[in-house]
Chains A and B, each alone.
Chain A
Amino acid sequence: DAGVTQTPRHEVAEKGQTIILKCEPVSGHNDLFWYRQTKIQGLELLSYFRSKSLMEDGGAFKDRFKAEMLNSSFSTLKIQPTEPKDSAVYLCASSDNYAEQFFGPGTRLTVL
């Protein structure tokens, strides 16, 4: 079975640009999560989907961050417009009914 895949692995954006990150969860998993990881804040939840329905949208990240789950095997995270403080590693994870979360390799975003 393939694990969680994320593309691109690296992204460099200019301030004010729109970027879209992609994630494919493990086949058959019901839950999909988007996280942001920085050394200062650690792992922060951005969005959580269960069976394609949005369960949580990460409060403080609502204004410029939008995650969508177009079907059970594909999700996107749009950041619009990007700011330098958005530079971080963005991780996607999936799980099956309260079991462990499997993380993808992450996308390292640098905003200039």
Chain B
Amino acid sequence: QQKVQQSPESLIVPEGGMASLNCTSSDRNVDYFWWYRQHSGKSPKMLMSIFSNGEKEEGRFTVHLNKASLHTSLHIRDSQPSDSALYLCAASRAGTGSNRLTFGKGTKFSLIP
């Protein structure tokens, strides 16, 4: 079973619109969450990471984390064509000597043409 669940599977918004992508881990031992973005035909690239409860903002992107529910969300405002991509959420454990990431299957995000 997938330990990192992402929803929705796909999301389409108009240009300039706002989007919310969700991610939950079923592994209660995870501590860190990562968001990677993968444009079509390219490899994943880290977008943002979050390790503490609360939110973190970078430009048009905001990430929230609720450690109690092991839920993180990525919010994109003023969506641009360059935002169209597969967004991958990953989780990792701290203090284990391992930098292993467990990835979700991703949310395919695109803009209404």
A-side residues, CB < 8 A to B, are 31, 33, 41-43, 45, 48, 50, 55-56, 91, 95, 97-101, 103-106
Contacts and interface: CB of A to CB of B under 8 A. Distances in A.
Q: Does more than half of chain A's interface fall in helix, strand or loop, or is it mixed?
A: strand
B101 A101 contact: yes
The interface centre, meaning the residue of B34, B46, B102 with most chain A CB atoms within 10 A of its CB, is B46
A33 B97 CA distance: 15
A31 B100 CA distance: 9
B49 to A, nearest CB: 7
Interface of B: 34, 42-46, 49, 88, 92, 94, 97-106
B88 A56 contact: no
B101 A104 contact: no
A77 B97 CA distance: 23
A98 B94 contact: yes
Contacts of A42: 88, 103-106
A12 to B, nearest CB: 18
